[in-house]
Amino acid sequence: NAGVTQTPKFRILKIGQSMTLQCTQDMNHNYMYWYRQDPGMGLKLIYYSVGAGITDKGEVPNGYNVSRSTTEDFPLRLELAAPSQTSVYFCASRDRAGEAIQYFGAGTRLSVL
For position 105 contacting another protein by CB under 8 A, the verdict is yes
Closest distance to another protein from the beta carbon of 30 (Å): 10
Contact between 85 and 113 under an 8 Å Cβ cutoff? The reply is no
* Footprint on residues 39-78 left by another protein (CB under 8 A): 40-45, 48, 50, 56, 58
State the minimum distance, in angstroms, from the CB of residue 99 to another protein. Answer: 5
Cα–Cα distances in angstroms (integers) from residue 107 to residues 6, 16, 37, 40, in the given order:
6, 22, 9, 17
Residue 33 binding another protein, by CB under 8 A = yes
Find the part of the chain contacting another protein (CB under 8 A) among 18-26, 35-43, 64-72, 74-82: 35-43
Quote the strand ranges of the chain, DSSP E: 4-7, 10-13, 19-25, 31-38, 42-51, 54-57, 64-66, 76-78, 87-94, 103-104, 108-112
One residue of 2, 62, 99, 113 binding another protein per CB under 8 A? 99
- Which residues here bind another protein, judged by CB under 8 A? 4, 31, 33, 35, 40-45, 48, 50, 56, 58, 90, 92, 94, 99-107
